[in-house]
Amino acid sequence: MLIAGHWKMYNGPGVTREFCVAFEPPDGVEAVLCPPFGSLGAAVASGHTIFAQNVHWQDEGAFTGEVSTKILLELGVEGAIVGHSERRQYFGETDETVRMRTEHALDAGLRVIACVGELEEERERGETEDVLRRQLSVLTAHDALVVAYEPVWAIGTGKTATPEQAQDAHAFIKTLIDVPVLYGGSVKPDNAPELLSQRDVDGALVGGASLEVESFTAICQAAANIRS
């Protein structure tokens, strides 16, 4: 099981160092931390597995505000999140740019967590599977690729998908692409055991609850308990 802590634009280098010293992932779980760019160096120095939150599709160039695979690899970063809904919503990320970022990162030797998920209105209109099919049509299975199913209505809202909704979506995703699938969307220590015990849930992408060592450790522990 893979549990990824996605810090978004929180935790500068000082807090990152403190977190990394205090954090001890339990056995039986792969814990990944995804700090903001400015904290990547401090996080890598801790020896934990570190992913970035984005990566560009060119090796280098005039792309203000972006980061390349080359720079991430030189820093010692192992992978990157691609296509998070906040990137899609606020920064114009499209299925095509998700494809380019993912392919380039995998070719460069980075691991990728590619995010997919429907909006609330798309779920209400019964379009969840159509959206997932479209978003996943640009991705090809790869040993270093993991998909994160993150229903957008459940991200940072406290509204979690029910275990059945998560299981159904994950099972559907696995008919389209044969890679591990993480669940993301208001995962907390109290709902993690049930979500993570669903058959096709292979881990979690955790936002808010990954910012504190205690809650992130509790979620990692829930994952370890399920597989042990």
Query: Which residues touch 104 (CB under 8 Å, ≥6 apart)?
Result: 55, 56, 57, 58, 69
The single residue among 117, 151, 184, 203 that binds ligand PEP, judged by CB under 6 A, is 184
The one-letter amino acid at 55: V
Shortest Cβ 184–ligand PEP spacing (Å): 4
93 forms part of the interface with ligand PEP (CB under 6 A): no
Q: Which stretch binds ligand PEP (CB under 6 A): 45-53, 92-100, 203-211, 217-225?
A: 203-211
One-letter amino acid at 11 equals: N
Dihedral angle at the C-alpha atoms of 102, 145, 81, 44, nearest 10 degrees? -110
Of 188, 183, 223, nearest in space to 208 by CA:
188
| Nearest residue to the partner ligand PEP, using Cβ | 207
Pick the binder of ligand PEP from 1, 2, 5, 6 (CB under 6 A).
6
Minimum distance of ligand PEP from residue 74's CB (angstroms) = 26
Joined together, the tokens standing for residue 174 give 């696995």
Site string for ligand PEP, 153-182 (x = CB under 6 A): --xx--------------------------
The active-site residue out of 84, 93, 122, 170 is 84
Binding part of the chain for ligand PEP, among 51-59, 100-108, 138-146, 206-214 by CB under 6 A, reads 206-214
SS3 assignment, position 123: helix
- Total chain residues near ligand PEP (CB under 6 A): 13
Contact 97, 129 (CB under 8 A): no
212 is catalytic: no
Q: What number of residues does the chain have?
A: 228
CA 119 to CA 163: how far, in whole Å?
18
Catalytic residue status for 142: no
Q: Does 150 bind ligand PEP (CB under 6 A)?
A: yes
Q: How far is CA 58 from CA 103, 104, 152, 166, in A?
A: 11, 7, 28, 34
Which active-site residues does the annotation give? Answer: 84, 150
Residues of this chain that bind ligand PEP (CB under 6 A): 6, 150, 155-156, 184-187, 205-209
